[in-house]
Amino acid sequence: MGESAPRLDDAAVGQLLDRFDELLDVVEQVPGATSEAAVEAIRTLAEIYGEGLRRVLAVAPEPLRADLARDQLVAHLMVVHDIHPDPVQDRVEQALDAVRPYIESHGGRVELVDIDAGVAHVQLSGACGSCSSSAVTLEQTVSDAVLALAPELTEVEPVQPPRGGPTVIPVEALFQRPAALRGSA
C-alpha cells in the first residue's frame, strides 16, 4: 500500500473550493454541447458523492457525525447535499460565538438579527464607530466566520443598531417643580 496524501489544512481547503467555483464558472460560460456535458458530469459526480456521504453518515455514530460536521470541508459537503445536522441559525450563532471575543476586545458587540433569503443580518454595535477601517475589518471578520460555517448563505449584512432610545428622566427631576410653577403655589 502507498502512503496517503497529506491532509489539507482549512486554508488549502478554502483555496480548493474557490478554485473549483472559478473553474465551474469558466465551464458554464463556454457555449455548446461539450460544456453542457461537462457541467452535467460534475452534477452527476456530486450526486454520487452526496449519496455516498449520506450512507456514511447513516451508519456513523452521533459523536462521529458531530465531529465530521465541525470539519470545514465535510461540513461544506454536508451543506451542499442538504444533510448538515445543525440548522443554519445554530451554525451562524456558533460562528458569532467564535468571533465574539475578538469583537469585544475592540469594544464591540455582535448579535444575529435574522436570516432571510440566504442573508444573515447581524448587528454590530459599539465597535469603534468613528473608525471606518476598523468597522470594515470587524464586519469582514464576522462575514468570513459566518460564511465558513454556513456556506449556503450568500451574504452577511450588517444592520445598524436602533438610534436613540427611550428618554430617561432622572428620579430627582420628578420631585422638582418646574420654574414656571414655583411662584404660583
pLDDT at 176 over 90: no
54 or 174, higher pLDDT: 54
Kindly give the residue spans of alpha helices, DSSP state H, lying in the chain: 10-29, 33-59, 62-70, 72-80, 88-105, 132-149, 171-174, 179-182
Q: Within a domain: residue 185?
A: no
132 or 91, higher pLDDT: 91
Q: Within a domain: residue 132?
A: yes
Identity of the residue numbered 22: E
* pLDDT score, position 98: 93
* pLDDT score, position 90: 94
Looking at the structure, tell me whether residues 60 and 76 fall in a common domain.
Answer: yes
Over the stretch 116-146, which tens digit does the pLDDT of each residue have? 999 999 998 875 555 566 778 888 999 999 9
Q: Are 150 and 93 in contact (CB under 8 A)?
A: no
* pLDDT score, position 96: 95
User: Which residues sit opposite 111 in a β-bridge?
Assistant: 123
Cα separation, 33 vs 44, whole angstroms: 16
95 or 106, higher pLDDT: 95
* pLDDT score, position 125: 85
Residue 3's pLDDT band (boundaries 50, 70, 90)? low
* pLDDT score, position 184: 53
Q: Within a domain: residue 166?
A: no
**Domain interval for residue 20:** 10-80
Domain boundary among 80, 107, 125: 80
Q: Within a domain: residue 168?
A: no
* pLDDT score, position 88: 93
Number of domains in the chain: 2
Domain boundary among 53, 80, 107: 80
pTM for the model stands at 0.65
* pLDDT score, position 133: 64
